[in-house]
Structure 1
Amino acid sequence: MKMTFRWYGEGNDSISLGQIKQIPGVEGIVWALHDVPAGEEWPSDKIEAVKKQAEQYGLNIDVVESVNVHEDIKLGLPTRDHYIENYKRTIKKLAAAGVKVICYNFMPVFDWTRTDLFKEMEDGSTALFFEKAKVEDMDPFELVDKISSNSAYTMPGWEPERLSKLKELFEAYKNVSEEELFQNLEYFLKEIIPVAEENNIKMGIHPDDPPFSIFGLPRIMTNQQNIRRVLSLVDSPSNGVTLCSGSLGANPDNNVAEMVREFADRIPFAHIRNVKVYENGDFIETSHRSSDGTVDILEIMKAYHDSGFTGYARPDHGRHIWGEECRPGYGLYDRGLGIMYLWGIWDSLERIGRVS
């Protein structure tokens, strides 16, 4: 297992590369060019600039999250081919810079949805929170205003250029079914996976967050059966999944450890985090510790270890603790604690394996 840490770039993150370097066992950053709109080709000079920054601290740039997919591709519009060609060229440029894994998602409109970015917990920390009834009753435009006004950072999936076209996007998706979204994903994969193969890149599609439909939008990366179908659309080692325990774990019916065991050889990148799911469908993001949430992180780590996982992993969203002011879900302290919890489990499993 290769441990990484998501970093949003100089001037766009409260955390420095120097701080990331001090977290035990972290080998690289998970990064992206957040100022490049979805669908545009990534400039080589900007890619090289990030690589140079990371290498000054002995960190690699092996994992990119995300090269966003333009909505015209998801919608299957005639213009999609132009954006797919840009995507292919970006894959080639990233491979030339040493990138090994590209994470992406195929979620319509919103990459992720929460109703509160700083929900206070019993211990005084705050965390990302999803209130199911509120989403069911809320106008999506009202939610956008609330979320956008409560963060000092531009958040991936909620970029201004995306939100400025919200009404048009909802209208465009009105008649798009889940089956049609599957077909549009298949078209995209059949175009890009051969390019990824040629350039030794593994693509990892991220599950939908949350893993069920909201605001009537279609969602397809929601469960084990659908992940299996996506991986079979193009049967290639380069067509993989970024298995996110927190996204999938928001539905208690999802057995994430079982998914790890089935898809182990097609998981180039693992997001590991915990959530506590309530009976009414609400959920809140907790510490990584198994007993603090609904997701059995210990069993998930055991599944990765038993499967001989050698891919990349990162602690996903964390709480905001010790008064830290940071990007929602992406503070230093709780994700640092999460890494040490994950390493503690992994090192214990390694020791037990040697003794037995």
Structure 2
Amino acid sequence: MALEKTWRWFGENDPITLNHLKQMGVEGVVTALHHVPNGEMWMKDEILRVKENIENHDMRWSVVESLPVSEGIKTYSDDWSRLIANYQHSIRNLGECGLDTVCYNFMPVLDWARTDLEYQLPNSTESMYFDFSTFVAFDVFILKRPGAETQYSAKLVEKARVVYDNMTEEDAEKLVHNIIIATQQFIDGVVNGSSPDPKQEFLTYIDVYKNIDKKKLRENLKAFLNEIIPVAEEVGVRLAIHPDDPPFSLLGLPRIMTQLEDYEWLLQANTSQNNGITFCSGSLSARKDNDLLKIINKTSERIHFVHLRNTQLLDDGSFYESGHLKGSQNMDGILLALLEEQQRRKDLGRKDIRMPFRPDHGLKVLTDFENEYNPGYPLIGRLKGLSEIDGLMKGLEYVLTANRQTKLI
């Protein structure tokens, strides 16, 4: 028994092919209908076309990541009813086509954020970095979001000013591209790079949330769940919300999946077993006060999907992605806790014992530098992470099995 090994695949335009995945021993594919615009219905023929292509390579479509929740649902816009109906139909179609797990997020406007996509580590590999003062420089001095400077300490704003003053025009443009476009367009973000003025388009989206605080966004998520979960229950689909990345407020926007208290609220807001979470060690680890083992312990029975990677936290709240095992978090303990939950499910006779995981993001290593991959998604770096996690998992499984047999004697 082991967590199901999966891999995020970005469809037919992904330079990493299904044949590559098959060769690497991947068991399940994590993908989406990336060509379908956000808010539109996913049709059965398109779902089956992708599913059959994956199965023809001797793998299964393990998890849908993501079925995007459009901004109109998050803000409860005038178009909410149509968008909800399309999401319901999409969930129904997925379930009737044999898909059972859907990852989604409820992050306003900005999905995930990094300031440097080519951060070089001492061993010459490349990582992704979130530098707090650089992000503040982007928010206050480049984006010039109204009122932004009042939402940070004077000391941090002054530090950000120094960062900004030392930027060239090219540096500033690259930072805008990294935050607004490069990390967003391949995951169906709101700004896809086609606008002549992406900063203004971004500000327009942010402005929609001027009257939506954390409480209101929670209400909108609860309304979404109340409409979608009954359909998911009917067709056997488990919804797994992804935590905010990073797990704290950005750009004055509310973030509602950042810590244990948020998960406890979520699981009470809709008590269905089909309302669950994606446990992402990388996202959650970027907040110093998050105890990841405690989060697993409190939410384990509703963990439907797992993302595994590590981060290195810095004293000022900045962080960089440090690989899959090495970093600020105890990945041995995290993986052990997940394997124990899998065994518990097996003992209870639950059907959801696969507990699919994927190696999330990855360092650029070796021939990754010779290819154009989506930010955070290189081939060799993720394969290295998959191998490391698989090896650790096999060792932990051996110990768990031995301990279990000893207790039975």
- Shift, 1:339, TM fit: 1.4
Structure 1 runs not aligned, ≥5 long: none
Q: Give the % identical residues.
A: 38
Compute the TM-score of the two structures, normalised by the length of structure 2.
0.82
Q: Distance in 2 between matches of 1:224 and 1:151?
A: 26
Is this contact kept in 2: 1:38–1:70, CA < 8 A?
yes
Match of 1:75 in 2: 75
The one of 195, 198, 215 equivalent to 1:179 is 215
Contact 1:274–1:294 (Cα < 8 Å) also in 2: yes
| Map of 2:4 onto structure 1 | 2
The separation in 1 between residues aligned to 2:316 and 2:324, in whole angstroms, is 22
Partner Cα separation in structure 1 for residue 81 and residue 65 of structure 2: 22
Matches within 5 A, 1:134-283: 134-139=134-139, 141=143, 143-147=175-179, 154-157=186-189, 159-160=191-192, 165-283=201-319
User: Any conservation in 1 of the 2:324–2:388 contact (CA below 8 Å)?
Assistant: yes
Kindly tell me: are residues 85 and 330 of structure 1, through their superposed partners in 2, closer, same or farther at Cα, counting changes over 3 Å?
A: same
Report the number of matched residues. Answer: 352
Q: In 1, are the aligned partners of 2:184 and 2:190 still within 8 Å (CA)?
A: no
TM-fit CA distance, 1:90: 0.3
Shift of 1:147: 4.4
Within a 5 Å distance, the mapping from 1:43-82 to structure 2 comes to 43-82=43-82
Conservation of the 8 A alpha-carbon contact between 2:74 and 2:108? yes
Query: Who is 1:111 aligned against?
Result: 111
- Unpaired runs of at least 5, structure 2: 144-172, 344-352, 404-409
Deviation at 1:49, TM superposition (A): 1.6
For 2:10, the aligned partner's letter is Y
* Contact kept? 1:109, 1:162, Cα under 8 Å: no
1:317 equivalent in structure 2 = 361
Question: 1:61 offset after TM fit, Å?
Answer: 0.8
Does the C-alpha gap of structure 1 residues 46 and 63 become closer, same or farther in structure 2, counting only changes over 3 Å? same
Residue by residue, what CA displacement relative to the aligned partner does 1:35-88 show, whole Å, maximum 9, x if unpaired?
A: 212111112222122112111111111210001111111112232111000000
CA distance in 1, matches of 2:106, 2:96: 25
Contact 2:181-2:192 at 8 Å conserved across structures: no
Say which is worse superposed, 267-276 or 43-52, in terms of deviation: 43-52
Instruction: State the secondary structure of the residue aligned to 1:63.
Output: strand
Equivalent residues of 2:5, 2:356 under 8 A apart: yes
Moved more, 73-82 or 187-196: 73-82
The residue correspondences of 1:85-96 to structure 2 (distance < 5 A) are 85-96=85-96
2:400 to 341, 345, 353: 353
The TM-score, its normalising length taken from structure 1, stands at 0.94
SS at match of 1:207: coil
**9 and 168 in structure 1: CA distance in 2 versus 1, 3 angstrom threshold:** same
**Whole-Å separation in 1 of the counterparts to 2:12 and 2:383:** 19
Aligned with 2:367: secondary structure? Answer: coil
Larger helix percent: 2
Aligned to 1:23: 24
Partner-residue secondary structure (3-state), 1:138: helix
Q: Aligned partner of 2:77: which letter?
A: L
**Contact 2:181/2:191 (<8 A) preserved:** no
Residue of structure 2 in register with 1:302 after alignment: 336
Deviation at 1:103?
Answer: 0.3
Task: Report the alpha carbon displacement of residue 152 of structure 1 after superposing the two structures with TM.
Answer: 12
**Equivalents in 2 of 1:319, 1:82: separation in Å?**
41
Letter in 2 for 1:10: E
